Chain A
Amino acid sequence: MQIPFGQLIAFASRRTFQEAIANRRWEVGEVPYSDVRGYHLYSDLGLRLAISAAESDEAAYRNLQILQAYVSAAESAGEVTGMTFLEVQGRRLHLFREAASADDELAEEVRRGCRAFYELARRKILDVAPGTEFTIRMALDYGRAILLRSVGDDVSESIVSLGNAANRPAKKLARDVDRSGVPAGYLAINETAFGQDENQPPVWRLVDLTAPIVSRKTDDLLGESMVAFSAIENRARPFEPNPHNPVNAPRKRRGFMFRADLDGFSSRVSDAMSSGADAISSLVADFQVLMSYPVAFKDTLPDGVSVVAFPWAGDCANLLLECDDYAVERTYLPNRAAINWHDQGRGLAGNGTDWRSRMRGSKWLVAIAGGEQVEKEHGFILTGNVLASGRTFHVGSGWSWQRSLDAEQSTGTRPEDTVIHNEDYGGLDEPLRRPYSEHAAQPALFKIAPFDRLVKAQRDHDDKGRVSVPATVPSLGIKVNSPRPYVSH
């Protein structure tokens, strides 16, 4: 059921939503969503990889402190410019300001807000971690999007957004700088959307965020943001266990970051937007069901693997496959998990839900990164809860967090592909490496495999498991019987 954006944000809080249901102000089966126009701002914090990889507990803790300072800076600037958090995806933030049309004056105010946010974040991060090398890049777009609550096993109080205006800035930030990406310290603004033509291909204009602030209005915004920051800082004690913190944070966990992007879903969103309210309702209903896909997926994994869910980033699921025995899981889990995820999409497994019909022709792209066995920083993810705007966001940080994101956003992939990091390719048992070939765009980092080849390699491997043959003792040339176990007592 469609509701105003303000109410959706209130419902993002689990407590508020549960209270609404308990007080019969909301029906359990109804899916709240907003179909709304406005400004979408994405901001990426880039940390030197050694820090982002969290190679020691101290660095990991510092990493989350930096993250909280960055998020609080965004919240502060957002408070004074009317921007609200939709998502906190680790080092990527997504803020939104509702606006029925792209107004020049409003756009300028948002732009000034970005400038104030940049400056405030820069100062606060350096307060927390003096001398830290980092970058901030932003992208701003305007247009229509469908917004709904993140549901499933994830503890975050995140809002998922579907639509071009919400996708385009994320894609722009994912690009390498030498491939029309956004340079460090810059804000990219989609000029065509600001010119009232939000459905046209974007034309990006770069704004330098590092230039000294000369505008009085921007300087005032910065001052107000700093006051807001102090108030937020006093409210938030994010890394201590507290009643608003449903998991103990921070936690260092070992496993594989797993990201699954619903390839082709964007065009369905566009079709629904041009088709009317029924199509939007149907889209929302399907996506709401798909957001519980990770819950069914986790039942297909071995007992020694548990799933930690992070908020969906648009139509991309983000999970950590936490492993009891990482050394053993490295030998096969990337393939097994990818097959199970892709295969379940066909409705062959799972809990009886016909996932395929919900996907309506879309297919998954799976990206996985875990890391090497003995490298200290590999294989570990630091998870924690960041507080922003009175909501909790479950975030992660680490080598595999970043590498899996790079893999998911790499170019040249096709639907039903699986992209894994070279380190994880090296950890697989040899027969399970066969489906992979070099990633054309990033051969130094990734390997890529189509689904049918993954399945074939798995079948070949399974077939070998059925065989039991006599063996010859090498030094003697004597044959011993084929293995055949028994039970005696």
Chain B
Amino acid sequence: MCLIERLDAAATISEAFTLGQEIHGHFVDGNVSFHPTIKPNRAVRRLASNGVATVWGQLNLSHQDIATRVNASCSLCIPSNWMERSPALRCLEIWIRGRERRDTRPEWHINDDDSFCYVLDAEWKELLDSVRSEHGPEAAMTAAAYYCINNVRWLLFRHLEGYRRKLRKWPREWPQWAHYAAGLQDYLAQRHRQLGLK
């Protein structure tokens, strides 16, 4: 690796650290750990994702105009390529729905590795690229932290509601993307329509 590449890599990691601090600022109580050289092996794949920093602690779930006293104990692992991939969310609260069975996890937006899919990465990337190009890298980090936390709160609160109401399935009236490749296609088709492309 040449010096410029190493400087680029260091800058990327430094940005991920800063994003970790930004996200941590939204937590009620918690901490940030930095682990730029640790790569989780298969054994811990369900506990940790590839990333350079992890924020963990108590996140209050108030969002939009929903006020709640509930704090969720959760973690967000920030990848070095955070502009392309959203931080990996994990939450082990007892009220998380669908986790116990492999076939019910997708219903509640839980991936195979127990991380949560609270945002479509293509949508994440497009928004952050746009903010970065218009407002600069610092604004992109602040927006990324806010975007991430807003979506995390929204999703975890629906899990909480599902628990409170004993819901087995994700209600039809709660917005979601179609699962897997279909969701990405839907998103791209929507963007094409919005941009007036054929």
Residues of A at under 8 Å CB distance from B? 300-304, 324-325, 327-328, 330-332, 336, 427, 429-431, 461-462, 464-469, 471, 473-476, 478, 480-489
Contacting pair A484 B177 (CB below 8 A): yes
Task: Say yes or no: is B139 at the interface (Cβ < 8 Å to chain A).
Answer: yes
Contact with A along B64-96 (1 / 0, CB 8 A): 111111100000000000000000000001110
A-B contact pairs, 23 of them (CB 8 A): A302-B95, A302-B164, A302-B166, A324-B94, A328-B93, A429-B67, A429-B68, A431-B67, A462-B165, A464-B64, A467-B64, A468-B154, A469-B64, A478-B131, A483-B150, A485-B109, A485-B177, A486-B109, A486-B120, A487-B109, A488-B111, A488-B117, A489-B112
Measured in the bound complex, the distance between the Cα atoms of B164 and A482 in whole Å is 23
Contact of A429 among B69, B121, B180 (CB under 8 A): B69
Task: Say yes or no: is B103 at the interface (Cβ < 8 Å to chain A).
Answer: no
Task: Say yes or no: is B146 at the interface (Cβ < 8 Å to chain A).
Answer: yes
Measured in the bound complex, the distance between the Cα atoms of B117 and A419 in whole Å is 41
Contact of A465 among B146, B147, B158, B180 (CB under 8 A): B158
9 smallest beta-carbon distances between A and B, as pairs: A483-B154, A485-B109, A480-B147, A486-B177, A487-B179, A483-B151, A473-B146, A486-B120, A468-B175
Contacting pair B117 A487 (CB below 8 A): yes
Task: Say yes or no: is B119 at the interface (Cβ < 8 Å to chain A).
Answer: yes
Measured in the bound complex, the distance between the Cα atoms of B116 and A330 in whole Å is 26
Task: Identify which of residues 136-166 in chain B touch chain A, using a CB-to-CB cut-off of 8 Å.
Answer: 139, 142-143, 146-147, 150-151, 154-155, 157-158, 160-161, 163-166
Q: Given A331-B70, A471-B146, A480-B127: A304 and B163 within 8 A (CB)?
A: yes
Contacting pair B67 A485 (CB below 8 A): no
Contact of A481 among B127, B164, B180 (CB under 8 A): B127
Task: Say yes or no: is B173 at the interface (Cβ < 8 Å to chain A).
Answer: yes
Q: Given A304-B95, A465-B161: A487 and B143 within 8 A (CB)?
A: no
Q: Which residues of A contact B111 (CB under 8 A)?
A: 487-489
Contacting pair A325 B94 (CB below 8 A): yes
Contacting pair B180 A487 (CB below 8 A): yes
Contacting pair B143 A483 (CB below 8 A): no
Measured in the bound complex, the distance between the Cα atoms of B68 and A430 in whole Å is 7
Task: Say yes or no: is B193 at the interface (Cβ < 8 Å to chain A).
Answer: no
Task: Say yes or no: is B113 at the interface (Cβ < 8 Å to chain A).
Answer: yes
Measured in the bound complex, the distance between the Cα atoms of B104 and A395 in whole Å is 40
Taking the closest CB of chain A, its distance from the CB of B121, in whole angstroms, is 7
Task: Say yes or no: is B101 at the interface (Cβ < 8 Å to chain A).
Answer: no
Q: Which residues of A contact B154 (CB under 8 A)?
A: 468, 483, 485
Q: Which residues of A contact B110 (CB under 8 A)?
A: 487
Contacting pair A478 B150 (CB below 8 A): no
Measured in the bound complex, the distance between the Cα atoms of B113 and A332 in whole Å is 31
Measured in the bound complex, the distance between the Cα atoms of B110 and A168 in whole Å is 57
Q: Which residues of B contact A483 (CB under 8 A)?
A: 118-119, 150-151, 154-155, 175
Contacting pair B135 A476 (CB below 8 A): yes
Q: Given A303-B166, A481-B127, A483-B118: A465 and B177 within 8 A (CB)?
A: no
Contacting pair A471 B64 (CB below 8 A): yes
A300-B166, A461-B66, A484-B119 known; 6 other A-B pairs, CB under 8 Å? A331-B68, A462-B161, A480-B150, A485-B117, A487-B179, A489-B111
Q: Which residue of B lies closest to A324 (CB)?
A: B94
Q: Given A303-B166, A429-B67: A482 and B146 within 8 A (CB)?
A: no
Contacting pair A486 B179 (CB below 8 A): yes
Measured in the bound complex, the distance between the Cα atoms of B171 and A327 in whole Å is 26
Contact of A486 among B67, B119, B143, B171 (CB under 8 A): B119
Taking the closest CB of chain B, its distance from the CB of A91, in whole angstroms, is 33
Contacting pair A484 B146 (CB below 8 A): no
Measured in the bound complex, the distance between the Cα atoms of B93 and A485 in whole Å is 19
Contact of A328 among B70, B106, B118, B150 (CB under 8 A): B70
Contacting pair B65 A464 (CB below 8 A): yes
Measured in the bound complex, the distance between the Cα atoms of B65 and A430 in whole Å is 11
Q: Which residue of B lies closest to A471 (CB)?
A: B150
Taking the closest CB of chain B, its distance from the CB of A338, in whole angstroms, is 14
Measured in the bound complex, the distance between the Cα atoms of B65 and A484 in whole Å is 17
Taking the closest CB of chain B, its distance from the CB of A322, in whole angstroms, is 14
Q: Given A430-B67, A468-B175: A485 and B151 within 8 A (CB)?
A: yes
Q: Which residues of B contact A304 (CB under 8 A)?
A: 94-95, 163
Contacting pair B163 A478 (CB below 8 A): no
Contacting pair B119 A482 (CB below 8 A): no
Q: Which residues of B contact A430 (CB under 8 A)?
A: 67
Taking the closest CB of chain B, its distance from the CB of A187, in whole angstroms, is 47
Taking the closest CB of chain A, its distance from the CB of B7, in whole angstroms, is 27
Q: Given A429-B67, A464-B66, A468-B154: A485 and B119 within 8 A (CB)?
A: yes
Contacting pair A325 B95 (CB below 8 A): yes
Q: Which residues of A contact B155 (CB under 8 A)?
A: 483, 485
Q: Which residues of B contact A464 (CB under 8 A)?
A: 64-66
Q: Which residue of B lies closest to A473 (CB)?
A: B146
Contacting pair A331 B147 (CB below 8 A): no
Measured in the bound complex, the distance between the Cα atoms of B160 and A336 in whole Å is 13
Measured in the bound complex, the distance between the Cα atoms of B155 and A473 in whole Å is 18
Measured in the bound complex, the distance between the Cα atoms of B160 and A302 in whole Å is 10
Taking the closest CB of chain B, its distance from the CB of A409, in whole angstroms, is 29
Task: Say yes or no: is B176 at the interface (Cβ < 8 Å to chain A).
Answer: yes
Contacting pair B139 A466 (CB below 8 A): no
Taking the closest CB of chain A, its distance from the CB of B95, in whole angstroms, is 6
Q: Which residue of B lies closest to A470 (CB)?
A: B150
Taking the closest CB of chain A, its distance from the CB of B120, in whole angstroms, is 4
Taking the closest CB of chain A, its distance from the CB of B174, in whole angstroms, is 6
Measured in the bound complex, the distance between the Cα atoms of B157 and A486 in whole Å is 15
Contacting pair B67 A481 (CB below 8 A): no
Contacting pair A486 B176 (CB below 8 A): yes
Contacting pair B163 A302 (CB below 8 A): yes
Measured in the bound complex, the distance between the Cα atoms of B154 and A466 in whole Å is 10
Q: Which residue of A lies closest to B110 (CB)?
A: A487
Taking the closest CB of chain B, its distance from the CB of A472, in whole angstroms, is 9
Measured in the bound complex, the distance between the Cα atoms of B66 and A442 in whole Å is 31
Task: Say yes or no: is B40 at the interface (Cβ < 8 Å to chain A).
Answer: no
